[in-house]
Amino acid sequence: MTDSSAARAPKEEEARPERPEMPSKKFIHNFRLAAKIGQPLFYVVLAAVLIWKLVPRLSSGQFQDSFLFWYESLQQTTYHLSGPLLVALAAILLLGLWRRSHNARDVPVYLVDFRVYRPPDALRVNKMQCRDGANSCGKFNEESLAFQQRIAERSGLGERTYLPRGLHQYPFDINMTSAREEAEMVMFNCVGNLLEHQGLKPRDIDILIVNCSLFNPTPSLSAMIINHFKMRSDIVSYNLSGMGCSAGLIAISLARELLQVYPNKNAIVVSTENITQNWYFGNERSMLIPNVLFRMGGAAILLSNKPAVRNVAKYELQHVIRVHMGADDKAYRCVFQRPDDDGNIGVELNKDLFKVASKAVTRNMTRMGPMVLPWSEMLFVALNLLAAKVFRMRVKPYVPDFKKAFDHFCLHAGGRAVIEGLGKQLGLPDEKTEASFQTLKWYGNTSSSTVWYSLAYIESVQTVKEGEHVWQVAFGSGFKCNSAVWKAIRDIDSCHQAWEHRVGENAPKV
């Protein structure tokens, strides 16, 4: 710690409000043990009594009033159970639920601000330039060129996306030096703009997390940022690699865990992907799709747990849900980096991808639902499951209306089919998927940073009101589906530089 930071420490300590006295470790241990035992015991006792009363009814063939009888049985069970036992079990259940929700929100984590990278106009490409570049490199046969052209027409990408400098030269300049140049352009710009706008010095950052799936030089990308901005030697830094397009929300989850351990800290998360050295020059169709979809981009996000930050922050983090399906072989291999028969390395997107993605997001929503959905939606879900699983009725699975829980949706802009499929699965109208489609159109698939381009679009074009909730959903290799929920703690109508062309010349620039 430097002299200046040491001098500030007493002031921060004096300004910090007194924390209430915490319960003893023994009390907490006993409380957790009681809750752990009591919750399942409550459900077991209640279920046993209901089954004891319900089975004879079903065995007699009287199915028509099963739901009504179940409801009456629940009332009778509640009445006939021993009063003290029921009260005790219910109290343990409620205390356990309170403990879970209380622990998750012990230390509020605030999103102070974020920046997404807008490359210079010199790096802009349209579809014709991409086609000419693919033709000139001499690596693709006629069938592969035609396939890439068809995918480009249906991809949802517009005529103004960006590729790194090495892919603008003919022949392509693909080497470690040009890859580092791309990484530096994206990361230094995002982090520098973020620090400048917030009036922070690099030494004010306590935690740094960088995620980039395919480019991992030595020293690491996080070390590259620390060296460039001359950050403190005691900074807590992490570099996440190989985790795909959902790694940005994994990095947010890691930052939250760290901020709940280290008090009074600032954290920066940098999410990006590197295109330069990861262009595929073979002719396998499943490995050509990333060439069409992926573009350069990145985002830097400032998080903090400082109480005073709440007055200037944009959002408070509510939930992060992570689903990993890597135990299933099909899910594990549906996005897979490998060499083709000629030794050209690329990322394969196989035919199981959409089926696996649908299953992954369903599991994510199933876990998210009880945390965010209103009771009316939860009741419909429960009745649907009861009809299908218990009474073996042929009913369609009930899809909860997540529009009742979230006001804004940032869907991973992995491609047109990804956004359309997820929007259909969630039953979202066009205005709820607009941010993701616009991200895909203007910036392409920027991997883990797409959800931040979408949020920047929402803030710039649609605006966010105090109390509204934002849901970010991203997919990644492994296979993973991760999501985050943010609650706006003030009105937000700022215009990000990346979207000023959609707002107009008179919009406030930030």
Strand 110-116 with 297-304, pairing: antiparallel
| Among 319, 408, 469, 496, the one annotated catalytic | 408
Residue with tokens 């009594």: 49
What 3-state DSSP class applies to 342? coil
Tokens describing residue 506: 């008179």
Active site residue 29: no
Active site residue 137: no
| Among 364, 445, 469, 496, the one annotated catalytic | 445
In this structure, are residues 399 and 427 in contact, taking their beta carbons and an 8 Å threshold?
yes
| Among 130, 212, 245, 495, the one annotated catalytic | 245
* R_g of the chain, CA atoms, integer Å: 26
Residues 148 and 290: their CA atoms lie apart, in Å, by: 10
The DSSP annotation for 260-283 comes to: TTSSS-EEEEEEEE--GGG---S-
What 3-state DSSP class applies to 138? coil
What 3-state DSSP class applies to 345? strand
| Among 137, 168, 324, 344, the one annotated catalytic | 324
In this structure, are residues 116 and 496 in contact, taking their beta carbons and an 8 Å threshold?
yes
Strand 315-324 with 480-488, pairing: antiparallel
Residues 294 and 445: their CA atoms lie apart, in Å, by: 5
Active site residue 319: no
Residues 492 and 468: their CA atoms lie apart, in Å, by: 10
| Among 130, 278, 410, 412, the one annotated catalytic | 412
Active site residue 408: yes
Active site residue 445: yes
Residues 431 and 426: their CA atoms lie apart, in Å, by: 13
The shares of helix, strand and coil residues in the chain, as percent rounded to the nearest 5, are: 55, 15, 30
Number of Cα atoms under 13 Å in the Cβ half of residue 24: 3
The dihedral built from the CA positions of residue 317, 242, 172 and 437, taken in this order, carries a sign that is negative
Question: Smallest Cα–Cα separation from 105: which of 306, 239, 260?
Answer: 260
Give catalytic residue positions: 245, 324, 408, 412, 445
